[in-house]
A and B are shown apart, each in its own frame.
Chain A
Amino acid sequence: MPELKFDKTKCTGCKAVSCLVKCQYMNLDRNKAKKEWQKVINGEDSFVLEACTTCYACEEYCPFGNHPFYLIVERQEEKGILPAPRPIITMWINQCQPVGRFMVGKVEERALSYCFMPQFNTLVKGKLFDGIAWSVIFGQEFFCNAVYLHYARASVIKDRLFKVMDNIKKQGIKELVCLHDECYGTFTSLAPAYGVEVPFKPIHYFQYLNDKLKELKSEIKPLNAKAAYQRNCSARLCPQTDHYVDDIFGLIGVERLKREYDKENGLCCAEVFRMAKGPALADDVQKRNIDDMIKVGAEYCVFNCPACWDSLAEKVVKAGIKPIHMIDLCKLAIGEEQTLKLPELALEV
Chain B
Amino acid sequence: MADIYEALVKIVGKDYISNQKEERYFYARDGGLMPPHEPDYVVMPKTTEEVQQIVNMANKEKVPLVPKGAGLALTGLVIPQKSGILLDMKRMDKILEVNEKARYVVVEGGTTHGALKSYLQKHHPDLRHSIPDSPPIATVVANAVIHGQGRLSQQHGFNSDMVSGLEVVLPTGEICRIGSCSVSSYWFSKGPPLPDLSGLFLGWFGTTGIITKLGLKLYPCKKMRDVMLFLTDRAELVPDIMLRLSHTEMMEDITISAQPMPLRFKGTFWIMAYITGDSEEELEFKRKMTWDALWGCFERRDGGFISLSPDMKAPLMSMPSKDVTKFADVAKGGGFQYAGPITPIEKFPAFIKKLDEVAAKYNVFYASTTRLIDAGHCMMFSFSFSFNRANPDEMARAKKALDEASRFALEEGGVLWKADLDEQKLLMERMDPNTLNLMKKIKQLLDPNGIMNPGNWEVK
Q: What's the Cα separation between A313 and B313 when bound, in Å? A: 14
Q: Taking the nearest CB of chain A, how far is it from the CB of B274, in angstroms?
A: 10
A94 x B263 contact (CB < 8 A): yes
Q: Taking the nearest CB of chain B, how far is it from the CB of A52, in angstroms?
A: 15
Q: Taking the nearest CB of chain B, how far is it from the CB of A67, in angstroms?
A: 26
Residues in A neighbouring B265, C-beta threshold 8 A: 91, 94
A94-B231 contact, Cβ under 8 Å, with A311-B307, A346-B318, A347-B225: no
Interface residue B9 (Cβ < 8 Å from any Cβ of A) = no
A87-B291 contact, Cβ under 8 Å, with A275-B304, A346-B318: no
B263 x A85 contact (CB < 8 A): no
Residues in B neighbouring A85, C-beta threshold 8 A: 231, 298, 301-304
Interface residue A24 (Cβ < 8 Å from any Cβ of B) = no
Interface residue A118 (Cβ < 8 Å from any Cβ of B) = yes
Interface residue A1 (Cβ < 8 Å from any Cβ of B) = no
Residues in B neighbouring A275, C-beta threshold 8 A: 304-307
B266 x A94 contact (CB < 8 A): yes
Binary contact track B251-272/A, C-beta < 8 Å → 1, others 0: 0000000000011111111000
A84-B317 contact, Cβ under 8 Å, with A90-B233, A278-B291, A279-B288: no
Interface residue B121 (Cβ < 8 Å from any Cβ of A) = yes
Residues in B neighbouring A87, C-beta threshold 8 A: 231-233, 267-269, 302-304
Interface residue B181 (Cβ < 8 Å from any Cβ of A) = no
Q: Taking the nearest CB of chain B, how far is it from the CB of A159, in angstroms?
A: 16
B319 x A342 contact (CB < 8 A): no
Residues in B neighbouring A284, C-beta threshold 8 A: none
Q: What's the Cα separation between A310 and B310 when bound, in Å? A: 6
B309 x A349 contact (CB < 8 A): no
B307 x A274 contact (CB < 8 A): yes
Binary contact track A322-349/B, C-beta < 8 Å → 1, others 0: 0000000000000000000011111111
B276 x A349 contact (CB < 8 A): yes
Q: Which residue of B lies closest to A279 (CB)?
A: B291
Q: What's the Cα separation between A276 and B306 when bound, in Å? A: 9
B264 x A94 contact (CB < 8 A): yes
Q: What is the number of residues of chain B that contact chain A, defined by CB distance less than 8 Å?
A: 39
A278 x B298 contact (CB < 8 A): yes
A345 x B319 contact (CB < 8 A): no
A274 x B263 contact (CB < 8 A): no
A76-105 at interface with B (beta carbon < 8 Å) = 82, 84-88, 90-91, 94-95, 97, 99
Binary contact track B319-351/A, C-beta < 8 Å → 1, others 0: 100000000000000000000000000000000
Q: Taking the nearest CB of chain A, how far is it from the CB of B299, in angstroms?
A: 9
Q: What's the Cα separation between A91 and B263 when bound, in Å? A: 8
B263 x A349 contact (CB < 8 A): no
Interface residue from A90, A271, A343 paired with B268 (Cβ < 8 Å): A90
Q: Taking the nearest CB of chain B, how far is it from the CB of A42, in angstroms?
A: 25
A349 x B128 contact (CB < 8 A): yes
Interface residue A314 (Cβ < 8 Å from any Cβ of B) = yes
A274-B305 contact, Cβ under 8 Å, with A87-B231, A90-B233: yes
Where chain B touches its partner, the secondary structure class is: mixed
Q: Which residue of A lies closest to B298 (CB)?
A: A85
Q: What's the Cα separation between A61 and B305 when bound, in Å? A: 30
Binary contact track A310-323/B, C-beta < 8 Å → 1, others 0: 11011000000000
A94 x B267 contact (CB < 8 A): yes
Q: Which residue of A lies closest to B232 (CB)?
A: A87
Q: What's the Cα separation between A314 and B226 when bound, in Å? A: 14
Q: Taking the nearest CB of chain A, how far is it from the CB of B245, in angstroms?
A: 16
B231 x A310 contact (CB < 8 A): no
Q: What's the Cα separation between A347 and B277 when bound, in Å? A: 11
Residues in A neighbouring B315, C-beta threshold 8 A: 346
Residues in A neighbouring B291, C-beta threshold 8 A: 278-279
B304 x A88 contact (CB < 8 A): yes
Interface residue B281 (Cβ < 8 Å from any Cβ of A) = no
Q: Taking the nearest CB of chain A, how far is it from the CB of B304, in angstroms?
A: 3
Residues in B neighbouring A94, C-beta threshold 8 A: 263-268
Interface residue B224 (Cβ < 8 Å from any Cβ of A) = yes
A310 x B317 contact (CB < 8 A): no
Q: What's the Cα separation between A346 and B265 when bound, in Å? A: 22
A86-B305 contact, Cβ under 8 Å, with A346-B319, A347-B317: no
Q: Which residue of A lies closest to B263 (CB)?
A: A94
Q: Taking the nearest CB of chain A, how far is it from the CB of B372, in angstroms?
A: 19
Pick the most buried of A85, A118, A271: most chain B CB atoms within 10 A of its CB: A85
Binary contact track B118-139/A, C-beta < 8 Å → 1, others 0: 0001000000100000000000
Q: What's the Cα separation between A94 and B318 when bound, in Å? A: 26
Pick the most buried of B121, B224, B263, B291: most chain A CB atoms within 10 A of its CB: B263
Residues in A neighbouring B301, C-beta threshold 8 A: 82, 84-86
Interface residue B390 (Cβ < 8 Å from any Cβ of A) = no
Interface residue B213 (Cβ < 8 Å from any Cβ of A) = no
Residues in A neighbouring B305, C-beta threshold 8 A: 274-275
A345-B313 contact, Cβ under 8 Å, with A82-B301, A88-B306, A94-B266: yes
Q: Taking the nearest CB of chain A, how far is it from the CB of B310, in angstroms?
A: 5
Q: Taking the nearest CB of chain A, how far is it from the CB of B392, in angstroms?
A: 29
Q: What's the Cα separation between A90 and B315 when bound, in Å? A: 22
Q: What's the Cα separation between A116 and B295 when bound, in Å? A: 31
Q: Taking the nearest CB of chain B, how far is it from the CB of A288, in angstroms?
A: 17
Interface residue B14 (Cβ < 8 Å from any Cβ of A) = no
Q: What are 18 pairs between A and B in contact, CB < 8 Å?
A: A82-B301, A84-B304, A85-B301, A85-B304, A86-B233, A87-B304, A91-B231, A94-B263, A95-B264, A274-B307, A279-B287, A307-B309, A310-B307, A346-B317, A346-B319, A347-B225, A348-B121, A349-B128
Residues of B in contact with A (beta carbons under 8 Å apart): 121, 128, 221-222, 224-225, 231-233, 262-269, 276, 287-288, 291, 295, 298, 301-307, 309-311, 313-315, 317-319
Known: A85-B303, A87-B269, A88-B231. 4 other contacts (CB 8 A): A86-B301, A87-B302, A95-B264, A310-B310
